[in-house]
Each structure stands twice: as C-alpha cells, then as structure tokens.
Amino acid sequence: MALLKAATSRAQQNAPRELEKASKAQEKRLNVNLDVSTHERFRIACMRNGRTMKEEVEQFVADYLKKNPS
C-alpha cells in the first residue's frame, strides 16, 4: 500500500512538469534584440499591468495577424 501511495505521489508531483514539457513542444522561440533601455521599460510596463512580456508579445502577434492575414 505504501508503495502505491509513493508512486501516486511521484506521478502527482511530476504532472505539472510533464504538462509544461508538452506545451513547450508546441511552441517556437522568437528572439528579439532590444536596446537595454527599451527592454527595461517594457519589462516594467508589463509588470505594472500584471502581464508577462511573453503575454504582451503574443497579443501583439495575434493582433498583427488579424490585421495582416497570411
């Protein structure tokens, strides 16, 4: 019984990591070079708005694609 509980506990602990791996497999990385000042201002503005830089860039890309369909 203890062995079963231990296995279940490990599976529950690993579940978030496995989900993260699965979602990352469906993403593609985009690297952008910004000057230090612009990056810092963007990072702070995102924090003030309760959003991540990733969320803001994803929103920008989604809006851009709506206006400029491929």
Whether 42 contacts 53, CB under 8 Å: yes
Structural domain harbouring 59:
2-67
pLDDT band at 12 (very low <50, low <70, confident <90, very high): confident
Q: How far apart are CA 22 and CA 32, in angstroms?
A: 24
Whether 57 contacts 43, CB under 8 Å: no
Domain CATH for 55: 1.10.1220
Would the pLDDT of 1 be above 70? no
Report the predicted TM-score, pTM, of the whole model to 2 decimal places.
Answer: 0.62
Would the pLDDT of 18 be above 80? no
Number of domains composing the chain: 1
Name the percent of the chain lying above pLDDT 90.
Answer: 59
Q: How far apart are CA 42 and CA 51, in angstroms?
A: 11
